Structure formats: structure tokens, C-alpha cells
């Protein structure tokens, strides 16, 4: 393990030593946790920014609202991807964090992921910064629908829309679809308004009440653990900065560089699930 100032980066044979250091850093402290896409890769969900990730231009909220064809394209791809997204299961990293919360080591999880896997793994206090694909909201009346109910309506209205074998799932749970002329997009059954999955699109802000809930976890913590996030998205950086202002020690677990590495007390360059499982065994 090599060290530069307060930063230690571990890989290969130095991993055990790095886990020892992480254990000592967190022991006796109440830990807030922030997770990103790198935690869900072990569940088969790809990462936007990890090494080898394809270059993508996700649909913005402005495109979704302004263009009916864009909405059809989004819903067609989202429907196909939902079947694969919903079939994924929590991995050892998710289960390790649930165990750490149950043991009182962490005060919950703040996640940038929309896959709902933390809750399915048993974590009880989960702040979904960017929402979840498991719910759909009407943009006009605010009615909320379960995603499986919308999926059933989509399948009935679009019998031609069936996922082919080997479909490529995107990180936000959709599939790229271009031929959408015959697509029937779902509408609100209460008011006939436009429906949108309850996720934060590119170009949208994290709802203020959600960010305040996330911020409160950091405020009540003695340390911040960041797992599987490159910290490119502004919401993650803001929480990191909040922890640093309070002089909390920060542990980052991520394959590859992050925007917070230079300010971390410890950085472990390794798979999040592997390290989190080791920390669970030592701390829970």
C-alpha cells in the first residue's frame, strides 16, 4: 500500500492492509454512507463512468417534456430495460451495508442509484438521491403508480414491444430504442397527464427535501463512507464537502479515480462489495 499525505490507495496484495486501516478509521464512529453505480455492477447493472463504460448521452428532462416522440422513445426503452432491471438482485455489498446498519455502525444509506437494491437487501433508512425506477409519477396531478402496474399496461397496449434476447441494459434501467412510431406511451389514469418514472433526469435538480434528508445523515455522523461513486455528480460532491467542513474522516471505496481522492483520509482502489463484506465481518 502506498501513501501520499492522508491518502492511501490499495490494490492487489495490499488490500488486506487497507481493510485493516479502514476498520481502524471507522471503528467506534457512527458512519454515513454514500453509494454510486459502482456498487451495483456486481448485480449486473452497468456503470456510466467506470473503466470501459460506453459513451452515452442520456435523455434530458427538457427533451422528455418538449417532444412526444422523445417520450415514446424513452418509454419504449425504459419498458424493455425494466424487465431486466427488475430481475437483478442485491449483491454482497448491498447485504453488507444492511448488516452494518442493523448493527448500529451506519445510520443509513444515501444512494445515487435508482435500482432500489438497498431496500431489497434490507437497509431500512435509504435516501434515494436520484429517485427510483420502481415508482412512476404523474407530472400533472402527482398521482404515484407502482412500476409493475405501468409495465402491465405498457405490455397490453404495445404487444409488439417485447425484449429481444441479449438486450443491452443501460445504467438507468432502459434500453436504446429508435423505432417508436407505433408506440403507445402510458398516461395517468386519474387525469390523463404525462407520466414519468420517479427518477431525477439529467437537467433536473435533486428535490430539496430529499437532499436535506441526505444532509441530515451526514450531520449526525462521525465519518463518511463513499462506495462505488466517482463523485462526478454534484449531489455527491456537496455531501463530501459537508463532511469535510465538519472535519469528518472520509473513506472512499472505488475502482479507479474519484473527484474526492485527494481529500479522503483513506482511498481503497478495489471492488466495493469485497471491501464492504470485509468491513461487515470486522465491525458488525
Active-site residue numbers? 130
Q: State CA 160 to chain mean position distance.
A: 31
The pTM (predicted TM-score) of the whole model is 0.86
Grid cell digits, residue 143: 398521482
Confidence (pLDDT) at 12: 53
Confidence (pLDDT) at 69: 87
Grid cell digits, residue 28: 467506534
Grid cell digits, residue 283: 465491525
pLDDT tens across the length of the chain (284 residues):
444 445 555 555 588 889 999 999 999 999 999 999 999 999 988 765 445 444 556 789 999 999 998 898 888 888 877 777 788 999 999 999 999 999 999 999 999 999 999 999 999 999 999 999 899 999 999 999 999 999 999 989 888 776 454 444 455 545 555 567 778 899 999 999 999 999 999 889 999 999 999 999 999 999 999 999 999 989 999 999 999 999 999 999 999 999 999 999 999 999 999 999 999 999 99
Confidence (pLDDT) at 122: 97
d(CA 282, CA 100): 10
**Structural domains in the chain (count):** 1
> Could you list the residue range(s) of the whole structural domain that residue 130 is in?
2-283
Confidence (pLDDT) at 86: 81
d(CA 75, CA 56): 17
d(CA 106, CA 71): 39
d(CA 112, CA 110): 7
Assign residue 224 the CATH number of its domain.
3.40.50.1220
Cα end-to-end distance, the chain, whole Å: 25
Residues 6+ apart with CB under 8 A from 16: none
Confidence (pLDDT) at 85: 76
H or E element, residue 26:
helix 15-26
Amino acid at each position: 500500500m502506498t501513501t501520499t499525505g492522508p491518502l492511501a490507495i490499495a490494490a492487489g496484495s495490499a488490500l488486506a492492509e487497507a481493510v485493516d486501516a479502514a476498520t481502524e478509521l471507522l471503528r467506534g464512529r457512527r458512519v454515513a454512507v454514500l453509494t454510486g453505480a459502482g456498487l451495483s455492477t456486481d448485480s449486473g447493472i452497468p456503470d456510466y463512468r467506470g473503466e470501459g463504460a460506453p459513451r452515452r448521452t442520456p435523455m434530458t428532462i427538457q427533451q422528455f417534456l418538449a417532444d412526444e416522440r422523445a417520450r415514446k422513445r424513452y418509454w419504449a426503452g425504459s419498458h424493455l430495460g425494466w424487465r431486466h432491471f427488475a430481475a437483478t438482485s442485491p449483491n454482497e455489498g448491498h447485504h453488507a451495508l444492511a448488516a452494518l446498519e442493523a448493527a448500529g455502525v451506519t445510520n443509513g444509506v444515501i444512494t445515487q442509484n435508482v435500482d432500489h437494491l438497498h431496500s431489497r437487501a434490507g437497509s431500512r433508512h435509504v435516501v434515494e438521491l436520484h429517485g427510483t425506477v420502481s415508482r412512476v409519477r404523474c407530472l400533472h396531478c402527482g398521482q404515484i403508480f407502482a412500476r409493475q402496474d405501468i409495465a402491465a399496461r405498457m405490455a397490453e397496449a404495445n404487444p409488439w414491444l417485447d425484449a429481444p434476447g441479449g438486450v443491452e441494459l443501460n445504467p438507468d434501467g432502459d434500453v436504446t430504442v429508435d423505432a417508436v412510431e407505433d408506440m403507445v406511451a402510458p398516461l395517468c389514469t386519474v387525469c390523463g397527464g404525462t407520466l414519468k418514472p420517479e427518477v431525477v433526469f439529467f437537467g433536473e435538480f435533486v428535490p430539496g427535501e430529499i437532499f436535506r434528508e441526505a444532509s441530515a445523515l451526514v450531520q449526525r455522523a462521525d465519518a463518511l463512507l463513499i462506495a462505488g461513486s466517482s463523485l462526478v455528480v454534484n449531489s455527491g460532491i456537496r455531501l463530501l464537502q459537508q463532511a469535510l467542513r465538519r472535519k469528518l474522516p472520509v473513506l472512499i471505496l472505488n475502482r479507479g479515480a474519484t473527484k474526492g481522492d485527494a481529500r479522503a483520509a483513506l482511498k481503497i482502489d478495489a471492488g466495493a462489495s469485497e471491501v464492504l463484506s470485509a468491513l461487515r465481518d470486522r465491525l458488525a
